[in-house]
């Protein structure tokens, strides 16, 4: 019987590691109330590859894949163990479904993976396996990838997609100007999640208002589609992350049922 939902988290800027903002405490509470997972499978926007790659290291390194930030960020480590046996299982499963997939024994965890995990599981004591996004992924492909990963939840594996609900970095650097498009797109996605409309989420970059402005490139949106497909059917639960840098929505979503007592504590 499935006990774990799937999650989508907006990881924001790398500074989210040190500045919890509105959503950090919500993720921490969620990590404390969910049944403890045996391992985490993380799909981050910051790892794209030819075909699919899966981290196979027993001790994946913390990758600081960003430049120009405070020195304190580069000193952070997230020393979660890997789970090589699970990684090999995923490789076999995806290859068997016709997805060219390889094990990467050297790849560590990028900031799209470890920054939100600092809030969800600060002790870094849950094994983490990261799965890449193929360069040529589209909406139906992201949904298919999530559906292929979904059975892992029956084995007490927590599936997380890490991206950004809106991701226009050009607008981040345009002074203090606020942009209505970010809220318009965010509200549309929230409504689709609330009614459990997985088709709308899959096709949002085609259908949703302001989609092209919210996501000039799609890689930070696909983890949401993966997570929605990997979760149970039905409405998702919003963790309201607010907006940072005027245009970056920090919302997170839980796809799957949570007991009322857990919902009330978040």
What residue spans define the domains of the chain? 6-264
Confidence of residue 261 (pLDDT cuts 50, 70, 90): low
Closest alpha carbon to 53 in 85, 82, 95: 95
Share of the chain above pLDDT 70, in %: 94
Confidence of residue 242 (pLDDT cuts 50, 70, 90): very high
Convert the pLDDT of each residue in 45-59 to its tens digit: 999 999 999 999 999
Q: In what order do the strands lie in the sheet with 128-134?
A: 101-104, 52-55, 128-134, 39-49, 157-163, 6-10, 252-255, 237-239
Convert the pLDDT of each residue in 125-174 to its tens digit: 999 999 999 999 999 999 999 999 999 999 999 999 999 999 997 887 77
Query: Above 70 in pLDDT, residue 264?
Result: no
Give CATH for domain 6-264. 3.40.830.10
Whole-angstrom distance, CA of residue 189 vs CA of residue 40: 25
Confidence of residue 265 (pLDDT cuts 50, 70, 90): low
Across the chain, mean pLDDT equals: 93
pTM for the model:
0.95
| Token digits of residue 40 | 């985490």
Q: Which distant-in-sequence residues (6+ apart) come within 8 Å of 16 by Cβ?
A: 24, 115, 116, 119, 250
Query: Above 80 in pLDDT, residue 3?
Result: no
Whole-angstrom distance, CA of residue 193 vs CA of residue 70: 35
Closest alpha carbon to 168 in 228, 245, 113: 245
């Amino acid at each position: 019987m499935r006990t774990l939902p799937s999650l989508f988290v907006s990881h924001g800027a790398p500074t989210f590691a040190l500045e919890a903002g509105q959503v950090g405490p919500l993720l921490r509470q969620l990590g404390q109330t969910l049944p403890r997972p045996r391992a985490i499978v993380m799909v981050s926007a910051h790892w794209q590859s030819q075909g699919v790659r899966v981290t196979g290291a027993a001790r994946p390194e913390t990758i600081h894949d960003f430049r120009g930030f405070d020195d304190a960020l580069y000193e952070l480590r997230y020393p979660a163990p890997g789970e090589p046996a699970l990684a090999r299982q995923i490789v076999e499963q995806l290859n068997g479904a016709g997805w060219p997939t390889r094990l990467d024994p050297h790849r560590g965890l990028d900031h799209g993976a470890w920054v939100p995990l600092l809030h969800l599981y600060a002790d870094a004591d849950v094994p983490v396996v990261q799965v890449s996004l193929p360069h040529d992924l589209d909406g139906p492909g992201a949904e298919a990838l999530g559906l292929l990963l979904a059975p892992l939840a029956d084995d007490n594996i927590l599936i997380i997609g890490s991206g950004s609900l809106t991701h226009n970095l050009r607008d981040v650097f345009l002074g203090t100007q606020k942009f209505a498009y970010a809220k318009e797109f965010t509200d549309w996605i929230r409504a689709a999640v609330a009614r459990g409309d997985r088709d709308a989420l899959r096709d949002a970059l085609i259908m949703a208002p302001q989609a092209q402005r919210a996501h000039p490139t799609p890689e930070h949106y696909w983890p949401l589609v993966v997570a929605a497909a990997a979760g149970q059917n039905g409405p998702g639960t919003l963790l309201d992350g607010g907006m940072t840098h005027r245009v970056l929505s920090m919302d997170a979503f839980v796809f799957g049922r949570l007991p009322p007592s857990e919902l009330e504590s978040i």
